[in-house]
Amino acid sequence: MFRTFRHRLLFWFLVFISFSFVIIMLSIAYLKKREHILKRTEAIEQSHVMLLKSVKAQQDFFSYATKDQQFFKTGDNKYLDQYLKLLDSTRSYLMHVDFKDEGALVGGIDFIKSDITEIDAVFLELIVQIQARGYKNFNLEGTMRKDVHWLENIDEIALEDILFLRRHEKDYIMRNEPIYITQLTRLVDKLAQETVANKKITKARKSEILSYLLGYRNKFLQLVELDQRIGIRDNSGLKQKLDQRITICEADFSDIVVYAKEWANAEFKQLTITFGIISFLLMIVSVWISSLISRKITKPLTELTLHITRFVDSNFTLETEHPVVRTQDEIGSLTRNFSFLKDEVISRLKFFKQKVDERTTELANANKKLLRLSEANSRFVPQEFLHNLGRESIEEVQLGDQVEREMTVIFSDIREFTKISESLSPQENFDFINEYLSGIVPIIKRNGGFIDKFIGDSVMALFPENPDAAIQTVFEFEDFLEIFNRKLIEKNRLPIEVGTGIHTGNLILGTIGHDHRLETTVISDAVNTSSRVEGLTKYYQSKIIATEATLSKLKNKHSFNYRFLDKVKVKGKSKTLSVYEFLSSREHIKLTYLKSYNTAVKHIKNEEIVKATTIFTKLRKKYPGDKAIKIFLDRCHNYIEQKASSWDDITNMITK
């Protein structure tokens, strides 16, 4: 019937369009019917919500308007206005509800309208009674207060009695208890009797006083009667009647809402069944048509798709199979063209694969060389140095790159290494230094530092974070030295000692040199100071000496043991440095008398030289090998014997 695949598709497309149009029209009719049902049920629900809001407005009116002087003055109140608007909205929603075919719903809505009318009548009566009662200076309560204010200003009745009247009045208003009514009336009667019996008051004056006094009592009793009629405080009277009407109305509303939902569900169910039957019949016809199309059209396409899938799954290498051409239309042309394309793809892929394999091998070799080069560079330029410069790799470093940072610098040097090296061959010297540094460097890195440079047997390390890590690092040096010295003794060599100087300050990290030869370095007075402080360890026979700049930057100063050594001028410096010896847990002897030592230093700072001399003399006798004690004791003697003009003698270190 159709010579081309396009014509066949066009015919079946028109068939499907027709079915789709029918389904769309049915869907529109279904939605309109459903919307009509929902509008009626939503109108009932909205009217219920409006009623609940109007009840809430009533409660707000009772809570706030009854104490609002403006309401009693003008009769206006926002909660009253809100109630009237909400009540009108409730009636409006109910007027638009159309249930002509449902007699039960129509009757229920009429009951609700009647309930709302009764609620409104009772509420309006409550408003009238509340206005009559008044508040503070308005209406009945206002006139009552005017009477009692007049009584407060007269001399014939004691002010204390009038205050008792006011107290009973306020107690009743606040607590609403009958006992206060009785107490007030008894007190008024008592005062009236006393006034009548008082011969000092003229008859006309008595009459005037009694009129105010009895008028105050009568108005108070009227106020009590109005409170009982209103019933807001104890939920009685008109307030109780209003609540009962509201409860009945809410119950009627709840019933009508439930009934409306049941009615809507029944309507929805009937509508859904009708629409479902029609849709099911249309679906059966669509399935039959789809099956017919699939038999006529999809068979050659399915065969072609399966062959393409096998060709793709074989990574485009399947050469033996070719799809069968079953028709002479567009699908047959597509099948033939695929066969030609397949052969061309296989041929080109073989060529590309050969070239890719060759290039992959070249790139893999180049990558290995780059990795080895990067590892080699990191041995000469620490990664930490690059990161502080803001560079990720050595390739980004340029001549003149520099950055200023506050860091802690440590200089560590092997004592008497020159004598040690003289007894070793060149190879043994290198082996000795490398074995020593292999233990020191990991400790520095583990505590967050990095090596700036090696200077023979000396190590210069930087700590970017806090100086606590630098102190801890040097303490761990001693643990390593114990193991290292044990190995030296096993080789019949003398153990070594290490002196370390520590200083904290600003320094500049950067690159110097020429475009053809660069070197990373640190330029700072802090570096020179650290080196000079390391030299002080020989003079003071100490292992670890740090400056006051480092001590002041410690975050956990109390976790370390240290002692003041001296104020010194190191070589090349005009300013003095306060230096401190830090004691590790291995300094058992010094730690035993550290407290006494620090006490003596404190006496010196307080200019109590004699007390300091006494302590240092005892320590010198017991620990003659402590160089710091000897220095302090000599200065104390010089000061006492007036060999020194003042205590501020400063040690000048002219050596390294």
pLDDT of the residue at 137: 80
Residue 655 is predicted with a pLDDT of: 44
Instruction: Please write the tens of the pLDDT for every residue from 562-583.
Output: 999 988 887 767 788 899 999 9
Q: What is the DSSP letter of 394?
A: G
Give the pLDDT confidence score for residue 504 in this predicted structure.
93
Q: How many CB atoms lie within 10 A of CB 332?
A: 16
Q: Is the pLDDT of residue 595 over 80?
A: yes
Instruction: Compute the mean pLDDT over every residue in the chain, rounded to the nearest whole number.
Output: 80
> Is the model more confident about 450 or about 8?
450
Q: Give the whole-angstrom CA distance, residue 135 versus residue 145.
A: 10
pTM score, whole prediction:
0.45
Task: Return the higher-pLDDT residue of 432 and 339.
Answer: 432
* pLDDT over threshold 70, residue 646: no
DSSP string, 512-530: EEETTEEEEEEE-HHHHHH
Between 101-115, 157-171, 198-212, 639-653, the lowest mean confidence (pLDDT) is in 639-653
Cα distance between residue 546 and residue 323, in whole Å: 86
pLDDT at 654: 40
User: Which of 186, 189, 200, 214 is closest to 156 using CA atoms?
Assistant: 200
Of 540 and 272, the one with more pLDDT: 540
Helix (H) or strand (E) holding 430: helix 426-446
CA 520 to each of CA 248, 385, 535: distance values in angstroms, whole numbers, following the listed order: 92, 8, 25
In this structure, how many other beta carbons lie within 10 angstroms of the beta carbon of residue 142? 15
Average pLDDT over residues 294-318: 69
Residue 584: pLDDT band by 50, 70, 90 thresholds? Answer: very high
**Given a cut of 70, is residue 515 above it in pLDDT?**
no
Average pLDDT score over residue span 464-475: 91
Q: Give the percent of the chain with pLDDT over 90.
A: 20
Helix or strand (DSSP H, E) at 544: strand 544-547
Instruction: Tell me the per-residue pLDDT of 309-331, one tens digit each, with 9 for 90 and over.
Output: 776 766 666 656 666 666 666 66
| Spatial separation of the C-alpha atoms in residues 95 and 80, rounded to whole Å | 23
Mean local confidence (pLDDT), 182-194? 89
pLDDT digits (tens, 9 = 90+) for 104-130: 666 777 777 787 888 888 888 888 888
Mean pLDDT of the 304-311 span: 72
Q: What tokens appear for 361 in the block?
A: 């091998």
What confidence tens digit (pLDDT) does each residue in 397-428 have?
A: 555 556 788 899 999 999 888 888 888 888 98
Q: Which of 31, 51, 45 is nearest to 260 (CA)?
A: 45
3-state secondary structure of 498: strand
12: tokens are 């079946």
CB 387 within 8 A of CB 465: no
The model's pLDDT over 359-394, given as tens digits with 9 standing for 90+, comes to 877 777 777 775 665 554 545 556 555 555 555 555
Q: Tell which wins on pLDDT, 123 or 307.
A: 123
Strand pairing class (458-463; 517-523): unpaired
439 burial (CB, 10 Å; 0-12 / 13-18 / 19+) is: middle
